[in-house]
Amino acid sequence: MNSSLSTQNDDGIKAIMLEIQNQLRSRTSDSTKIGPQTNITRDLGLDSLAIMDFIFDLEDSFDISIPMERIAEVQTISDLAQAIAILQKEAA
């Protein structure tokens, strides 16, 4: 893979992860640690309604639609960022 393309992908993933973290901060306590390996359901204490609200907000932020089967495959913040990046490429 071209190194500049790899850097662009890394920068894109970092930007996506930053947006995810920012959105989660408003939904969790200040003491909650949010990082790439944070498990969205287990570590953040969000109920199913809060998770769906979070997903809807991400869809609006990134102007994408996240299919339910994709959501079911996601466990960590990193997984979610990768899924969003793929959906953005597919939508382009």
Domain count, the chain: 1
Instruction: Give the pLDDT band (50/70/90) at residue 92.
Output: confident
Would you say residue 60 has pLDDT above 70? Answer: yes
pLDDT of residue 10: 80
Would you say residue 3 has pLDDT above 50? Answer: no
Mean local confidence (pLDDT), 79-83: 96
| Best CA proximity match to 21, nearest among 54, 52, 59, 47 | 54
pLDDT of residue 5: 44
Find the domain containing 75 and state its range.
3-91
Identify the CATH number of the domain in which residue 63 sits.
1.10.1200.10
Over residues 22-43, the pLDDT tens digits come to: 999 989 988 889 999 999 989 9
Mark out the alpha helices in 26-47 (DSSP H runs).
Answer: 40-44
